[in-house]
């Protein structure tokens, strides 16, 4: 993901053919055309003028070039007459006049004009090639076409970091090679958390370091390992650290780099990549976003299938089967959707191992903060534990981003050290986008937003299974007008009751508007969308509805397209619709009931919000008292926009 394009640093640097030669040729031709073309003080003239000159005998000679152009050279008398200032200079060297004229007409006119003269001049026909112009007229379009083609090739070749000469290397792999000796080495020290994943890849490091230990007993070293997990969780980092620990070269490429509009290019790139890798063995190939090529084949009914991608995938499979198990090349691939990959990829001898890389938990986040704070100048009040608690649901990449953003904020404030507040601001900024300090909100709008958010906060506080609240703001950020932050459980299974309670809390904002103002606003679109999705999921996917029963219409493979073919009858569809609205309606009624019961607290909370703009758990405790339910250690966050 973060390819610092340290392109082929250890290879002998690719010969750069450069793009400038095209310009150089163009300029050369331009100059050539000037040098070879007609120069000097040549004027055009008319037939009448010419006749006059002939009669008065001012002309030295007339040449008819290629039967089209008459070139007229004056004699001394003529020059004195017509170019009094130029005298000797151009005499006889270049024509003084030219005249475009047809052959026949010129001869007739010349004869006519000189009738009766003692020694008439004759027209001398000459054949002359202007090589410069002629060559240009042939070569220029050619050069332009080639230049254009090169440009297109380079575009398609992508990679601004790549050198020129792309035409010759379109089928070459675009993998970036990191060499452990030269480049900064990534090791397990740089990977925080991910203990289980690290343990698994530790084995691979061992394979690469002491292959004989395993092969001695007849065992086969795995060829492919699939890293599965959400973006930014450190899959690339992990793969890089494996290479770093084993001290082997590391080829990094993204699945989409194989895809090109030309048929066969992807396959040829795969071939080239494996060829390069085998030369450098032992080594690691890392393919990011392998789903770009590894998606299940032949399932794409709508788009008519993608032959190019299929052939690329086939080539990858062939290569993986082809190289001997003990050739020392191990392929690591990353994806966030293992379920849509072609089953053939996961067969024994290919990517038969899968390592799950999850979002970090509290501990993991603290460690990631530690890793990224190593290079920062921190103030005394920075507490990693606290920051880890404030960042539930953040990925490793998000945390790296927080650290960087905090440093920038502190720098902007001209501080010596990065302080706690800088980190908190950075977190807010990353969660919610930029604070809109001066976005225009009227007093009455502010009141509506405050009651809406207070409605969410109150309902979730009063429901045992709803996620407790961490923070509510009515500071507009990004597109949202206000927001409530919750700390959801890290629960692996959710009960019907939990889902129902969450729906009530989500509808709490709208319900509060209804109770206080007697009308509802458009601000709750986001909430409604969420509730509808959840209700649908309960009825259609999780089998949590009594009328519909224990049926799931979920398709975990993601390969069915329900837009056209629903797996249920019209009758069932009607029933589903009815159940969904029943569910939402009863949740809404429940939200109304809770808020009516705690109307006083709701009002206090909203007033506090209008006053302070941000409130935390403590403020809720002050108003409603402690929640009677014990809160377990939770991670993960959820944000609910206005
Ligand atoms: P992925 O490939 O899973 O999308 P990356 O490996 O590219 O994610 O992670 C992006 C960046 O996030 C890394 O360069 C690193 O700075 C940071 N990061 C992610 N996970 C971790 C982690 N577990 N420990 C330390 N840094 C991490
Ligand atoms: Zn809301």
CATH number reported for the structural domain that contains residue 406 in this entry: 1.10.8.60
Domain end residue (candidates: 432, 458, 479): 432
pLDDT higher than threshold 90 for residue 64: no
Instruction: Tell me how far apart the alpha carbons of residues 334 and 239 are, in angstroms, rounded to a whole number.
Output: 9
Instruction: Tell me how far apart the alpha carbons of residues 492 and 502 are, in angstroms, rounded to a whole number.
Output: 16
Say if residue 412 is in the same domain as residue 474: no
What pTM, to 2 d.p., does this model score?
A: 0.58
* Residue matched to tokens 């649908």: 536
Say if residue 137 is in the same domain as residue 205: no
CB 332 within 8 A of CB 284: yes
Question: Largest alpha-carbon pair distance within the chain?
Answer: 131
Q: What is the pLDDT of residue 162?
A: 44
Say if residue 98 is in the same domain as residue 190: no
Domain end residue (candidates: 410, 432, 454): 432
Say if residue 201 is in the same domain as residue 108: no
Is 637 a domain residue? Answer: no
Is 455 a domain residue? Answer: yes
Please work out whether the CB of residue 194 comes within 6 Å of at least one atom of ligand 1.
yes
Say if residue 455 is in the same domain as residue 531: yes
**Phi–psi pair at 57, nearest 5 degrees:** 60, 50
If you measure from the C-alpha of residue 486 to the centroid of ligand 2, how many angstroms do you get, rounded to a whole number? 12
Measured from the Cβ of residue 238, the count of other Cβ atoms closer than 10 Å reads: 27
Is 460 a domain residue? Answer: yes
Is 633 a domain residue? Answer: no
| pLDDT mean over 181-206 | 81
- Domain with 482 in it: what CATH number? 1.20.58.760
If you measure from the C-alpha of residue 501 to the centroid of ligand 2, how many angstroms do you get, rounded to a whole number? 15
pLDDT higher than threshold 70 for residue 395: yes
Candidates 196, 234, 374: which one to mutate for ligand 1, based on the most atoms within 8 Å of Cβ? 234
Kind and range of the H or E run holding 251:
strand 250-254
Q: Give the ligand whose atoms come closest to the C-alpha of residue 195.
A: 1
At residue 386's C-alpha, the angle toward residues 382 and 391, to 5°, is: 110
Say if residue 575 is in the same domain as residue 601: yes
CA distance to 204, 284, 345, 581, per residue, from 332 (Å): 10, 7, 12, 46
Q: Which protein residue's CA is at the shortest distance from atom 5 of ligand 1?
A: 234
- Which atom of ligand 1 is the closest one to the Cα of 240? 6
If you measure from the C-alpha of residue 236 to the centroid of ligand 1, how many angstroms do you get, rounded to a whole number? 7
Q: Give the ligand whose atoms come closest to the C-alpha of residue 375.
A: 1
What is the full DSSP assignment across 321-347? HHS-TTSSEEEEEEES-GGGB-GGGGS
Say if residue 412 is in the same domain as residue 273: no
Instruction: Tell me how far apart the alpha carbons of residues 510 and 92 are, in angstroms, rounded to a whole number.
Output: 98
Is 12 a domain residue? Answer: no
Which residues make beta-bridge pairs with 295? 341
User: pLDDT, tens digit, for every residue of 127-168?
Assistant: 877 777 778 888 888 989 998 888 887 766 554 444 444 455
HEC profile of 45-59:
CCHHHHHHHHHCCCE
User: pLDDT, tens digit, for every residue of 253-272?
Assistant: 888 887 766 667 788 888 88
* Residue 217 neighbours by CB under 8 Å, 6+ apart: none
Instruction: Tell me how far apart the alpha carbons of residues 509 and 70 are, in angstroms, rounded to a whole number.
Output: 92
Candidates 198, 228, 232: which one to mutate for ligand 1, based on the most atoms within 8 Å of Cβ? 232
Domain end residue (candidates: 294, 325, 356): 356
**Crossing angle for the helix pair 496-517 and 570-597, nearest 10 degrees?**
60
Average model confidence (pLDDT) for the chain?
Answer: 78
Residue % of the chain over a pLDDT of 70 = 79
Is 591 a domain residue? Answer: yes
Q: Give the ligand whose atoms come closest to the C-alpha of residue 184.
A: 1
Tokens in use for 120? 């008439």
Say if residue 112 is in the same domain as residue 140: no
Torsion 477-478-483-486 (CA) sign: negative
Say if residue 148 is in the same domain as residue 108: no
Is 3 a domain residue? Answer: no
CB 106 within 8 A of CB 51: no
Instruction: Tell me how far apart the alpha carbons of residues 34 and 21 are, in angstroms, rounded to a whole number.
Output: 20
Measured from the Cβ of residue 85, the count of other Cβ atoms closer than 10 Å reads: 5
Instruction: Tell me how far apart the alpha carbons of residues 323 and 250 are, in angstroms, rounded to a whole number.
Output: 17
Is 551 a domain residue? Answer: yes
Q: Is 453 a catalytic residue?
A: yes
| Higher pLDDT, residue 410 or 360 | 410
Say if residue 326 is in the same domain as residue 287: yes
- Which member of 60, 245, 453, 590 is catalytic? 453
If you measure from the C-alpha of residue 435 to the centroid of ligand 1, how many angstroms do you get, rounded to a whole number? 26
Instruction: Tell me how far apart the alpha carbons of residues 479 and 434 are, in angstroms, rounded to a whole number.
Output: 10
- Domain with 52 in it: what CATH number? 3.40.1690
Total of domains in the chain? 5
Q: What stretches of 28-87 adopt beta strand conformation (E)?
A: 43-44, 59-65, 69-74
412: containing domain: 362-432
pLDDT higher than threshold 80 for residue 415: yes
Say if residue 460 is in the same domain as residue 595: yes
Say if residue 159 is in the same domain as residue 189: no
How many residues does this entry show for the chain?
Answer: 642
Kind and range of the H or E run holding 288:
strand 283-288
């Amino acid at each position: 993901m973060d390819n610092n394009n340290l392109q082929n640093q250890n290879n002998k640097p690719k010969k750069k053919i450069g793009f400038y030669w095209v310009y150089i040729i163009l300029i050369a031709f331009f100059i050539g055309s000037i040098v070879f073309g007609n120069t000097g003080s040549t004027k055009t003239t008319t037939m009448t003028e010419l006749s006059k000159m002939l009669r008065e005998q001012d002309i030295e000679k007339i040449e008819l070039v290629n039967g089209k152009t008459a070139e007229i050279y004056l004699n001394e008398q003529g020059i004195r007459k017509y170019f009094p200032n130029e005298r000797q200079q151009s005499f006889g060297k270049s024509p003084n006049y030219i005249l475009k004229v047809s052959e026949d007409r010129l001869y007739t006119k010349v004869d006519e004009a000189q009738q009766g003269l003692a020694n008439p001049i004759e027209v001398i026909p000459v054949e002359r090639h202007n090589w410069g112009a002629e060559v240009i007229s042939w070569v220029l379009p050619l050069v332009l076409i080639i230049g254009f083609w090169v440009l297109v090739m380079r575009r398609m070749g992508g990679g601004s970091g790549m050198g020129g000469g792309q035409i010759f290397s379109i089928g070459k792999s675009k993998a970036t090679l990191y060499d452990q000796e030269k480049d900064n080495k990534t090791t397990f020290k740089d990977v925080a958390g991910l203990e289980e994943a690290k343990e698994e890849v530790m084995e691979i490091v061992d394979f690469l370091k002491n292959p004989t230990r395993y092969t001695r007993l007849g065992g086969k070293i795995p060829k492919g390992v699939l890293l599965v997990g959400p973006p930014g969780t450190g899959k690339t980092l992990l793969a890089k650290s494996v290479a770093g620990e084993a001290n082997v070269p590391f080829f990094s490429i993204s699945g989409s780099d194989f895809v090109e509009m030309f048929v066969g290019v992807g396959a040829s790139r795969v071939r080239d990549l494996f060829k390069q890798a085998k030369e450098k063995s032992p080594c690691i190939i890392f393919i990011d976003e392998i789903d770009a090529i590894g998606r299940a084949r032949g399932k794409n009914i709508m788009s008519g299938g993608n032959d190019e991608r299929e052939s690329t995938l086939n080539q990858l499979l062939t290569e993986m089967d082809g190289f001997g198990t003990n050739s020392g090349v191990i392929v690591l691939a990353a994806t966030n959707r293992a379920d849509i990959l072609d089953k053939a990829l996961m067969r024994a001898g290919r990517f038969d191992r899968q390592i799950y890389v999850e979002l970090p938990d509290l501990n993991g986040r603290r460690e990631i903060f530690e890793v990224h704070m190593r290079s920062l100048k921190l103030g005394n009040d920075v507490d990693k534990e606290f920051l880890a608690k404030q960042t539930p649901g953040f990925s490793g990449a998000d945390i790296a981003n927080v650290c960087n953003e905090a440093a920038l904020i502190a720098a902007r404030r001209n501080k010596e050290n990065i302080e706690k507040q800088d980190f908190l601001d950075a977190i807010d900024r990353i969660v919610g986008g930029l604070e809109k300090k001066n976005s225009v909100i009227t007093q009455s709008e502010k009141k509506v937003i405050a009651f809406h958010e207070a409605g969410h906060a109150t309902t979730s506080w009063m429901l045992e299974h709803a996620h407790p609240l961490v923070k509510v703001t009515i500071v507009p950020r990004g597109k949202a007008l206000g927001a409530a932050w919750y700390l959801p459980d890290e629960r692996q299974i959710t009960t019907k009751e939990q889902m129902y309670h969450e729906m009530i809390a989500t509808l709490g904002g709208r319900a509060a508007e209804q109770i206080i103002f007697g009308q509802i606003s458009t601000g709750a679109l986001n909430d409604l969308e969420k509730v509808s999705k959840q209700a649908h999921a309960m009825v259609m996917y999780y089998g949590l509805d009594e009328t519909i029963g224990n049926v799931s219409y979920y398709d975990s493979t993601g390969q069915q397209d329900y837009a056209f073919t629903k797996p249920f009858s019209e009758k069932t569809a009607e029933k589903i619709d009815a159940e969904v609205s029943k569910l939402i309606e009863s949740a809404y009624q429940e939200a109304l009931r809770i808020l009516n019961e705690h109307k006083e607290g709701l009002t206090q909370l909203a007033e506090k919000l209008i006053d302070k703009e941000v409130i935390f758990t403590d403020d809720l405790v002050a108003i409603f008292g402690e929640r009677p339910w014990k809160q377990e250690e939770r991670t993960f966050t959820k944000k609910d926009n206005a």
